[in-house]
Amino acid sequence: MSTITRDTQVFDLIKREHQRQLHGIELIASENFVSEQVMEATGSVLTNKYAEGLPGKRYYGGCEVVDELEQLAIDRLKELFGLTWANVQPHSGAQANTAVFLACLEPGDKILGFDLSHGGHLSHGSKVNISGKYFEPHFYGVEKETGLIDWDKVEQKALAEKPKMIICGASAYSRDWDYERLRNIADKIGAILLADISHPAGLIAKGLLNDPFDHCHIVTTTTHKTLRGTRGGVIMMRNDFDNPFGKKTMKGAIRSMSSLLDSGVFPGTQGGPLEHAIAGKAVAFGEALTDQYADYVKQVQKNANVMANEFVKLGYKVISGGTDNHLALIDLRPKGITGKLAENTLIKADITVNKNMVPFDEAKAMVTSGMRVGAAAMTTRGLKEDDFVRMVGLVDKVLTNNDNDAVIASVRGEINEWMKDYPLFQ
């Protein structure tokens, strides 16, 4: 039998990406570095197995082992957040949200989400996403003066529109959420309350932020941000309940919400689950149950707070004035530069951020007036508060000398030397 020739093109590119990650500073709030065992599980022979259905209820043979594996991931996730039910099959956070919409909504139903341009997420009703194409989206946002959500105005909007679902959660909002208030609002109009905790999930798991599970009917999250696992998504409930839509089983009984959500994933929006990714999730959930992980997310929160405060000290406008979680959104207009310029210039110094719209932004989405920064990835590499002070100083040095190649090259050299002492996962 002939051997397969090694694909040097692909593996050379993988090597280059590894070097890029190793030598630079990663400040994108939605990224993190996984442990070797998470990578090992994700790159395992489990990628060979097809397993449509749920553990014990598959449409393919040979699923005995992956049944145990997927159940282990479910059990660990339930322990991590104190749940009665979870589905670990969604391929991403957006897939998890889409499955929830399919289970709970009919085309044309009203939804009320956090405005994308104010820090919300694409899958919460944006017109370019299925959530905004198949349903009637309405939005709430932050106050221009404070950068904070006014919960009274959210209630006014909900009472006026009476959406079937209220969505809370964000991709670029640095403050905590009042889930109890939102549930009271949802109950007044008979709406389902969905929390997407994709960004702060790890901090919530360890009690550092408000707990959505006792107030929100359904909770979704990605698994690769502060949870520090394989890229993917999950759907969760602390308490299962009879669905309020009157949908019944073949035998005439009212279907539980968990049953509807399971069907929203498969066969509703996905086919066979990625069992290799689920294995990576299981490993990450196991890591998140440890005391070491608790120490990690506490450090993430400390580092993010220092980072936000340091930007303020250097004259940057941080939306809402600071952060409660792992990220900060920075309005660059007072500095006279765009998010696009900041992102492209910092890349030259091996500092990675993402341009981001800020509330009431007048710039186009591919330009933006702001940038988003997060502390999760560099905390994984072992950096502490003083390191983040230094890091912000280097960011400022590059941005204030964005037309000076010599200064940028000098910062890049300093960063490359600095990062030699920090592996990707510490």
Cβ–Cβ contacts within 10 Å for residue 14, how many? 11
Pick the last residue of a domain from 272, 289, 306: 289
Residue 305, token pair as written in the block? 């707070």
Residue 346 lies in a domain: yes
pTM of the model: 0.96
- Identify the CATH number of the domain in which residue 375 sits: 3.90.1150.10
Active site residue 262: no
Q: Residue 3 has what pLDDT? A: 84
> 264 with 241, same domain?
yes
Residue 224 lies in a domain: yes
- Does residue 339 contact residue 355 with C-beta atoms inside 8 Å? yes
Catalytic choice (31, 52, 161, 176): 52
Residue 190 lies in a domain: yes
243 torsion bin: left (phi>0), alpha (psi -120 to 50), beta (else): beta
Pick the last residue of a domain from 289, 324, 348: 289
3-state secondary structure of 330: strand
Pick the last residue of a domain from 221, 254, 289: 289
Question: Could you tell me the mean pLDDT of each successive run of 10 residues in the chain, 426 residues long?
Answer: 87 97 98 98 97 96 98 98 98 97 96 96 94 96 97 98 98 98 97 98 98 97 98 96 75 82 96 98 98 98 98 97 98 97 98 97 95 98 98 98 97 98 91
> 120 with 144, same domain?
yes
Quote the CA–CA distance of 409 and 399 in Å, as a whole number: 13
Residue 253 lies in a domain: yes
User: Which range marks the domain in which residue 132 is found?
Assistant: 40-289
| CA–CA–CA angle 91, 289, 259 (5° rounding) | 45
Q: Residue 328 has what pLDDT? A: 98
Cβ–Cβ contacts within 10 Å for residue 336, how many? 7
> 271 with 305, same domain?
no
3-state secondary structure of 49: coil
Active site residue 296: no
Q: Residue 250 has what pLDDT? A: 63
- Identify the CATH number of the domain in which residue 131 sits: 3.40.640.10
> 366 with 275, same domain?
no
Annotated binding site: which residue ranges?
Answer: 116, 120-122
Picking from 141, 156, 233, 214, the residue whose alpha carbon sits closest to that of residue 188 is 156
Quote the CA–CA distance of 28 and 347 in Å, as a whole number: 12
SS (H, E, C) 65-132: HHHHHHHHHHHHHHHHHCCCEEECCCCCHHHHHHHHHHHHCCCCCEEEEECHHHCCCHHHCCCCCHHH
Residue 426 lies in a domain: no
Active site residue 115: no
> 276 with 299, same domain?
no
Residue 132 lies in a domain: yes
Catalytic choice (222, 230, 323, 352): 222
User: CA end-to-end span of the chain, whole Å?
Assistant: 42
> 240 with 364, same domain?
no
What is the number of alpha carbons within 13 Å of residue 413 lying toward its C-beta? 6
Catalytic choice (26, 115, 196, 350): 196
> 270 with 299, same domain?
no
Q: Give the single-character DSSP code of 373.
A: E
> 163 with 309, same domain?
no
> 84 with 173, same domain?
yes
Residue 362's φ and ψ, nearest 5 degrees, are -100, -10
Residue 210 lies in a domain: yes
Residue 6 lies in a domain: no
Instruction: State the pairing for strand pair 351-352/25-26.
Output: parallel
The burial class, CB within 10 Å (0-12 / 13-18 / 19+), for 157 is: middle
Quote the CA–CA distance of 75 and 79 in Å, as a whole number: 6
Catalytic choice (231, 255, 317, 412): 231
Q: Residue 5 has what pLDDT? A: 94
Q: Residue 242 has what pLDDT? A: 82
Catalytic choice (58, 110, 225, 412): 225
Picking from 192, 111, 182, the residue whose alpha carbon sits closest to that of residue 153 is 182
Quote the CA–CA distance of 304 and 282 in Å, as a whole number: 27
> 131 with 260, same domain?
yes
Q: Residue 44 has what pLDDT? A: 98
> 311 with 389, same domain?
yes
Give the bridge partners for 355, in sequence order: 371
Spell out where 185-284 has E strands. Answer: 192-196, 218-222, 233-237
Q: At which residue do the structure tokens 């909770």 appear?
A: 219
> 177 with 246, same domain?
yes
The number of distinct structural domains making up the chain is 2
Active site residue 231: yes
Active site residue 290: no
- Does residue 304 contact residue 327 with C-beta atoms inside 8 Å? yes
Active site residue 196: yes
- Does residue 167 contact residue 114 with C-beta atoms inside 8 Å? yes
Annotated binding site for (6S)-5,6,7,8-tetrahydrofolate: which residue ranges?
Answer: 116, 120-122
